[in-house]
C-alpha cells in the first residue's frame, strides 16, 4: 500500500451536529502523525470543482461546539456520472491526496465506495447522520443531539396538547429508520410511535387508538417517522375514521439538524475521527469506523450501507407498557 502523506476530508449529504468535532479530530490526529490535511468544501461537488484548501490545527480551533459543518455540504448530481467522478479523482491527484475521509450518511458512503473501487484510492467513512441508520455502529454522529432536540420540542408540545385535550402527531426525520421516533417517544413520555420497522399486519394507528385513548387521558402525543405520508397521513385518517378526536400535526423539519452537539456527540465524533487515522495507519481501506458496545469497530462500507440496521424490538415493548 502506498505510504500516506496527505489526506482529504469532507462532509457530504445532510449536515449533522458533531460533524465539526469529527473534522477537528481527523485534522489534528493526522497532523499529529506528520500528515497534511486537505479540506474539501461542499462535499463531492467541491471535490469536482477543486474547492480544496490545506488545513492547519488552527483551522479547526473553536469548532467542536458548533453545529452544522464548517466544510459545508451539497448534493452533487455530477458525481453520479463517470465523468464527474473522473474530475473528482483528477483533483485528488492534483493535490497529492493519498486517502479520503468521508463524514456522512448512506448516500455519502456509497459514493465513497464507488470512487474507491473505480480508482483504487483508500477511503475511510465516518457515520455522520441524525437518522442512526448505518449498519455496524450503535450510534451515528448527530443522532444524540437530534434526539435531545426532538424531546425538548415534544415537551413543549405536551403543554398545549394537555391544555386543549388534543392528539398531536409529531413528525420527525429518519427516512426508512424509526430510531428517532421510537427513542424520542420513550424519552418524552409519548403514547405511541409509528415507525417503518413495526410493519406487522397490525394497523399501528388502530392499535394506538384502541389502547392509548382512555377516559382518564384526554391528550396524547404520537411520534411519527416521515415515511409514507408521515404525520399528515395519520392525522387525516383520524379525522376520517375517528372524528370525535381533536387532532393536530407538528412537523419538526430541519430544526432537528441544528444546534450545538451534545457532549455525547462531541466525544463520539472525536473518538471516530482519531480512530479513522489509526485505521489508515493500519492499512485499512474502504471501511466505516463505528462504535459497538463502546468499542471502536471497522465495518466494510459495503455492509454499512447495504444491510438494514435492526431496531431493538424491546424498545417497542417498553413504549407499549409505559403508555398505559
Where in the sequence numbering do the catalytic residues fall?
A: 131
Distance CA(324)–CA(251), nearest Å, equals: 25
Asked if residue 195 lies in contact with residue 311, where contact means CB atoms within 8 angstroms, the answer is yes
Which residues face 104 on adjacent strands?
A: 127
CA of 248: how far to CAs of 194, 233, 307, in Å?
A: 16, 12, 36
* Complete DSSP assignment for 163-222: HHT-EEEEEE--TT--HHHHHHHHHHT-SEEE-TT--SSS-HHHHHHHHH-BTTB--EEE
Residue at grid coordinates 458533531: 18
Sole residue written with cell 453520479: 80
Maximum Cα interatomic distance, the chain, rounded to a whole number of Å: 70
Within 8 A by CB and 6+ apart from 95, the residues are 6, 8, 38, 52
- Residue of 176, 123, 141, 177 lying closest to 301 (CA atoms): 123
Amino acid at each position: 500500500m502506498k505510504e500516506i502523506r496527505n489526506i482529504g476530508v469532507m462532509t457530504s449529504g445532510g449536515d449533522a451536529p458533531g460533524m465539526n468535532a469529527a473534522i477537528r479530530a481527523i485534522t489534528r490526529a493526522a497532523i499529529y502523525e506528520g500528515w497534511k490535511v486537505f479540506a474539501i468544501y461542499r462535499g463531492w461537488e467541491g471535490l469536482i470543482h477543486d474547492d480544496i484548501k490545506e488545513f492547519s490545527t488552527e483551522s479547526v480551533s473553536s469548532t467542536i461546539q458548533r453545529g452544522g459543518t464548517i466544510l459545508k455540504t451539497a448534493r452533487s448530481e455530477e458525481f453520479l456520472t463517470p465523468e464527474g467522478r473522473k474530475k473528482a479523482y483528477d483533483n485528488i491527484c492534483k493535490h497529492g491526496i493519498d486517502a479520503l475521509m468521508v463524514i456522512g450518511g448512506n448516500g455519502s458512503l456509497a459514493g465513497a465506495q464507488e470512487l474507491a473501487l473505480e480508482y483504487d484510492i483508500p477511503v475511510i467513512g465516518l457515520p455522520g447522520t441524525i437518522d442512526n441508520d448505518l449498519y455496524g455502529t450503535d450510534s451515528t454522529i448527530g443522532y444524540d443531539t437530534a434526539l435531545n432536540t426532538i424531546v425538548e420540542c415534544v415537551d413543549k408540545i405536551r403543554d398545549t396538547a394537555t391544555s386543549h385535550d388534543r392528539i398531536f402527531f409529531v413528525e420527525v426525520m429518519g427516512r426508512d429508520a424509526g430510531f428517532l421516533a421510537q427513542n424520542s417517544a420513550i424519552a418524552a413520555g409519548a403514547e405511541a410511535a409509528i415507525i417503518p420497522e413495526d410493519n406487522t399486519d397490525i394497523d399501528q394507528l388502530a392499535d394506538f387508538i384502541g389502547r392509548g385513548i382512555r377516559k382518564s387521558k384526554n391528550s396524547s402525543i404520537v411520534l411519527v417517522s416521515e415515511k409514507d405520508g408521515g404525520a399528515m397521513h395519520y392525522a387525516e385518517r383520524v379525522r376520517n375514521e375517528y372524528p370525535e378526536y381533536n387532532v393536530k400535526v407538528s412537523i419538526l423539519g430541519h430544526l432537528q439538524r441544528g444546534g450545538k452537539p451534545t457532549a455525547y456527540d462531541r466525544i463520539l465524533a472525536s473518538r471516530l475521527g482519531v480512530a479513522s487515522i489509526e485505521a489508515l495507519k493500519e492499512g485499512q481501506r474502504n471501511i466505516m469506523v463505528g462504535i459497538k458496545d463502546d468499542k471502536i469497530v471497522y465495518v466494510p462500507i459495503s455492509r454499512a450501507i447495504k444491510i438494514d440496521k435492526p431496531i431493538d424490538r424491546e424498545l417497542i415493548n417498553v413504549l407499549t407498557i409505559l403508555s398505559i
